[in-house]
Amino acid sequence: MAKPPKTVFVCQECGSQSPKWLGRCGDCGAWNSFVEERGQEAAVAAADSPHRYALAGAAGARLYSEIELEQHARITTGIDEFDRVLGGGIVPGSLVLLGGEPGIGKSTLLLQAAANVARTAGAVLYSSGEESEHQIKSRGERLAVGTAPLYLLAETCLERILEEIARIKPALVIVDSVQTVFSLKFQSAPGSIGQVREAATQLLFTAKGHNIPIFLVGHITKDGSLAGPKALEHVVDTVLYFEGERHHSHRVVRAVKNRFGAASELGVFEMTSAGLRPVPNPSKMFLAERPVNAPGSAVLCSVEGSRPILVEVQALVSGSTYGNARRMASGIDQARLSLLLAVLEKRAGLNLIGDDVFVNVAGGMTVDEPASDLAVLAAIASSVRNRAIPATAAMFGEVGLAGEVRGVTQAALRVREAAQMGFRRCILPAANIDPGTRLPPARQGRSGDPLPTSSDPNASGGGNGLGSAEDEWELIGVRTVGEALDALLT
């Protein structure tokens, strides 16, 4: 039998291994991602140990019907918005990865949560490989950590961290960051995929074995992905991701994966001089600086997870002085913008050839659901025609290649949020109004009649909690982009 190779080359993106260096990973297609790693024998030896892959209590296969349902008593982080993204608090024994760019607030949020948990649920271990105890403490002073039983450990050696966990038996562990942790079993550098995966796996066993929730902080690589994302994402229970611009004070934490709650759930925060403060009404914040009666501004009713959020989509169309027109999207997908521009030219008769088009979701928000299409098109058309969309109108809807406006999910939720935020008119896909097809769920159980539309003689009085001033409230169902633009821009 051939001896196992002493060195292997490991793709830092997906963890795929090769005996020799490759320019491009055959598995995930990443370029220049192979790094030489050692310590294969140690890994093999560790894999031979019988307990390595055994989770505590997993004695053998058990009958589904004999397994009692465990009611996880969740631990609250003391920060509403953070609890919300986690699906209602921290699940004991869960492993959570919190990713984000440097300086966005990962350490701040976790230190705040750590202090709160220490106050209510018992000892917390905050292990940092990035800052000294003194640095953490001086930050903690700003965050008013106080006298809670919070243990700080400036350590990068995985085995030492595991020892401290066994000694302190904390209610919560935070490892900041997983890329600084290294295991003595491996000789490769901290941050390499082998080390990161080993750290995550060992911490997973600790979390499950001792029922201690563990948070891992993960760094974002240059191209915006978590370093070693594929390797970590399936190991952890929950992946949270910090979004936002460093120049803005607000931050968004999004659940990308959650075994214990809805994915794409959002938590919204504001960075203040005393740490991150939850923002209970994000729609209000995102619309705070909206210019009224300015062309190129459209209000979108989007839904993130279970939460409706109104955001402003802005567009600017201006004649290009140079040969090739530019199309820039921030906050929406660039490819989606190209597609929507083609639809606008072909189906709504707008001539955009030779124009620069800039689209931006205000406040640094990112929207990636198709329901945003209509608002993007409306904002662009509004800028082209130099005519403002009424300030009291909000909209949503997916747009197809034929220029048709398609129904979207959770229409009732979106409509209700618009009404609550004081909007008087909502432009939505006709399919979301028609009772026979996709009626907004909240409406379905109550009565068979459709939501009131503008063509409906009894247009007022939705009676669905759609707003206080029901007489002024108007829902306009549209079938095509043309209809939508007529409703908004005339």
Query: How far is the C-alpha of 375 from the C-alpha of 6, rounded, in Å?
Result: 57
Query: How far is the C-alpha of 79 from the C-alpha of 270, rounded, in Å?
Result: 12
- Please give the single-letter amino acid code of residue 399: V
104 belongs to the binding site for ligand TYD (CB under 6 A): yes
Q: Which of 457, 458, 402, 408 is nearest to 433 (CA)?
A: 408
- Token look-up 């490989």 returns 129
Which among Mg ion, ligand TYD, none contacts residue 105 (Cβ within 5 to 8 A by kind)?
Answer: ligand TYD
Question: Which residue's C-beta sits nearest to Mg ion?
Answer: 107
Q: Which of 39, 78, 105, 194 binds ligand TYD (CB under 6 A)?
A: 105
108 belongs to the binding site for ligand TYD (CB under 6 A): yes
Q: Which of 74, 84, 106, 425 binds ligand TYD (CB under 6 A)?
A: 106
Which among ligand TYD, Mg ion, none contacts residue 201 (Cβ within 5 to 8 A by kind)?
Answer: none
Which among ligand TYD, Mg ion, none contacts residue 324 (Cβ within 5 to 8 A by kind)?
Answer: none
- At 154, phi and psi to the nearest 5? -95, 95
- Could you write out the DSSP letters of every residue in 237-292? SEEEEEES-TTSSEEEEEEEEETTS-TT-EEEEEEETTEEEE-S-HHHHHHTTPPT
- Please give the single-letter amino acid code of residue 226: L
User: Which two three-digit tokens encode residue 28?
Assistant: 């995930």
Distance from the first to the final alpha carbon of the chain: 79
107 belongs to the binding site for ligand TYD (CB under 6 A): yes
Which among ligand TYD, Mg ion, none contacts residue 103 (Cβ within 5 to 8 A by kind)?
Answer: ligand TYD
Three-state SS at 408: coil
User: Which two three-digit tokens encode residue 190?
Assistant: 């901290």
Span interacting with ligand TYD, options 136-144, 284-292, 398-406, 473-481, rule CB under 6 A: 136-144
For residue 252, the minimal CB distance to Mg ion (Å) is 17
> What is the radius of gyration, based on Cα positions, of the chain?
26
Binding-site size for ligand TYD (CB under 6 A) equals: 15
103 belongs to the binding site for ligand TYD (CB under 6 A): yes
Q: Which residues make beta-bridge pairs with 17?
A: 10
Binding-site size for Mg ion (CB under 5 A) equals: 1
For residue 110, the minimal CB distance to ligand TYD (Å) is 8
Q: Which of 19, 26, 102, 441 binds ligand TYD (CB under 6 A)?
A: 102
Element of type H or E holding 81: helix 80-85
- Please give the single-letter amino acid code of residue 51: H
Give the C-alpha distances (Å, rounded to integers) separating 201 from 28, 57, 214, 236, 399: 21, 17, 12, 9, 43
For residue 66, the minimal CB distance to ligand TYD (Å) is 44
Q: 128 vs 314, which CB is nearer to Mg ion?
A: 128
Span interacting with ligand TYD, options 39-47, 73-81, 104-112, 317-325, rule CB under 6 A: 104-112
- Please give the single-letter amino acid code of residue 140: G
Q: 143 vs 413, which CB is nearer to Mg ion?
A: 143
Q: Which of 223, 232, 246 is nearest to 193 (CA)?
A: 232
Which among Mg ion, ligand TYD, none contacts residue 104 (Cβ within 5 to 8 A by kind)?
Answer: ligand TYD
For residue 470, the minimal CB distance to Mg ion (Å) is 49
- Count the neighbouring beta carbons within 10 Å of the beta carbon of residue 321: 8
For residue 250, the minimal CB distance to ligand TYD (Å) is 12
For residue 109, the minimal CB distance to ligand TYD (Å) is 7
For residue 108, the minimal CB distance to ligand TYD (Å) is 3
For residue 177, the minimal CB distance to ligand TYD (Å) is 8
x/- binding map, residues 263-302, to ligand TYD, per CB under 6 A?
--------x-xxx---------------------------
User: Which two three-digit tokens encode residue 37?
Assistant: 């790693």
User: Which two three-digit tokens encode residue 348?
Assistant: 């709504």
Query: How far is the C-alpha of 286 from the C-alpha of 289, rounded, in Å?
Result: 7
For residue 462, the minimal CB distance to ligand TYD (Å) is 43
142 belongs to the binding site for ligand TYD (CB under 6 A): yes
The distance from CA 165 to its chain's CA centroid, rounded to whole angstroms, is 29
For residue 292, the minimal CB distance to ligand TYD (Å) is 30
Which residues, numbered 66-125, are part of the site for Mg ion (CB under 5 A)? 107
For residue 450, the minimal CB distance to ligand TYD (Å) is 48
Give the C-alpha distances (Å, rounded to integers) separating 377 from 296, 312, 433: 10, 13, 21
Query: How far is the C-alpha of 349 from the C-alpha of 468, rounded, in Å?
Result: 38
Span interacting with ligand TYD, options 102-110, 291-299, 301-309, 326-334, rule CB under 6 A: 102-110
Q: Which of 119, 137, 139, 210 binds ligand TYD (CB under 6 A)?
A: 139
Binding site for Mg ion (CB under 5 A): 107
Footprint of ligand TYD (CB under 6 A): 100, 102-108, 139, 142-143, 271, 273-275
